[in-house]
Every structure is written in C-alpha cells, then in structure tokens.
Amino acid sequence: STGRPKAVMIDHRAYAHHCRVIADAYDITPRDRVVLLSALTFDVAMDQIAATLVAGAAIVVSDPVFWAPAELPDRLAEHGVTIMEITPAYYREVLGYDTGALRGLKLMNVGSDVVTVSDARRWARSGLPGRFLCNYGPTEATVTCFLHPVTGTLPGEHPSAALPIGRPVPGTRAFVLDAGLRPVPDGVPGELCLGGIRLARGYRNRPGLTAAQFVPDALSGEPGARL
C-alpha cells in the first residue's frame, strides 16, 4: 500500500489449495451468491472470485460503480446475495442503514483491517441469522490464512478491543518468533511468521527483497522450507 509496488508470485498449488479451503470454511455451495465488492487489483478479490467458482456458486458483481453503503442492503436483497466480505469501515456504515435487508446473508465476513468487539456485538444484537467471521492474511500467504468466528456478544470485553485474528487455516504454519527466529514464550511479544504450502514463492523480479522477507524455516524440518 506504500512505496514501490511489488508483485507476489503465488504458485498454482497454493492457489488451488486456498480455493478449496476457503470454499469449505465459508460453506460456499452451488446455491450461494457471493457479492464481489473488491477491485480486481485487491488480493481479497481472489477469495470472492476463484473460491466462489470452485464451489459452483454465482458471483454478483457490483461493478462498474461499487455500491454505496446506503444502497448496499437493498442491492444484496435484490440479487439474493448470501455471502459478503467487506472491510470494517464499510461494515460499520452498512449497519447504520436497513439491517433487515441483510437477513438473506448466511455469512458476514469482515477483514483487511482491525475488527473490534463492538463490530461483533452489533451483528450479534441485530438478530440477523448469518454467521459473523473475522479474517486475516497477507498476500504472501495466499491472502486469507486466519479465521475467527464470533458467536456471541463477548460480555466483559471492552468495545474498542481488537478481535483475535483467529486460527490458521489448513496448509498454514504459524509461529510467533523473536529477532533470531526462535519461538517466544506465551505472553511475550514477537513477530508472526507464516509458512506452509500456501506461502508464495517471493516477489517478482525482486530477488533481494525476496531473500530478506522469505527466510529459512528451521522449525519445519523440511529441506528448503521458508517463512
């Protein structure tokens, strides 16, 4: 999002695995209709397009003009959308309008930025039947690689507290490491490092950056594994 743009090289195996995992996690079926609200240059579009088609579901495209929050609920109802993935800021605006029109959603998936306890509470208290899911993941790990379902109002939690990013999806290895790439004890801050079959090959035509960011995975025991 800042500095010199970099293209991430994701191989076919990682992408195919991602589509199967996401289709299963989101419970996408041929009866579903998934709305595309992301620009094609945004990595989240990978979830909204490929995983949908792999499951045999339909894509509802809001292009050429993305629907404004005020019109989104009615548009979703009009097109029978059952699954939606949006940012927290967009989500907060949408819930300020007619939430009754969101009753057809079976999944509200929120991510790409910090999702708060207050966000989850608003969904739980709306009485809407759909699941609320928080997602996280960098492009370098084939986009969405952590999921956190929320099923209640989280009593006792501060409204502005951030929700956990969740647990890694199948095919993702996750560690919290120190500067020497050693696991830190529970409760000690560190850096989240990701590995597994979903990890990208590196950055296109950026060998120096690839070598700096994709480091050997000494924890896996697999020759050539990286984090």
| pLDDT-above-70 percentage for the chain | 98
For the segment 73-124, what is each residue's pLDDT rounded down to a tens digit?
899 999 999 999 999 999 999 998 888 889 999 999 999 999 999 999 999 9
Strand partners, 111: 135
pLDDT at 1 over 60: no
In this structure, the answer to whether residues 73 and 145 fall within a common structural domain is yes
Q: Report the number of distinct structural domains present in the chain.
A: 2
Residues 6+ apart with CB under 8 A from 183: 175, 176, 177, 190, 219
Contact status, residue 23 vs residue 54, Cβ threshold 8 Å: yes
CATH number of the domain that residue 90 is part of: 3.40.50.12780
Confidence of residue 51 (pLDDT cuts 50, 70, 90): very high
Examine the domain organization and report whether 114 and 143 are in the same domain: yes
Q: Are residues 100 and 204 in the same domain?
A: no
Across 12-26, 58-72, 115-129, least confident range: 58-72
b/e string for 10-47 if b means 16 or more Cβ within 10 A? beeebbebbbebbbebbebeeebbbbbbbeeeebbbbb
Q: Are residues 134 and 93 in the same domain?
A: yes
Distances (CA, A) of 9 to 12, 90, 141: 10, 29, 10
Same domain assignment for residues 12 and 116: yes
Q: Report yes or no on 72 lying in a domain.
A: yes
Specify the pTM.
Answer: 0.91
Is residue 219 situated within a structural domain? no
Residue 41's domain spans which residues? 8-168
Segment 130-139 mean pLDDT: 95
Do residues 127 and 177 share a domain?
no
For 171-203, the pLDDT digits (tens) are 999 999 999 999 999 999 999 999 999 999 999
Q: Are 93 and 67 in contact (CB under 8 A)?
A: no
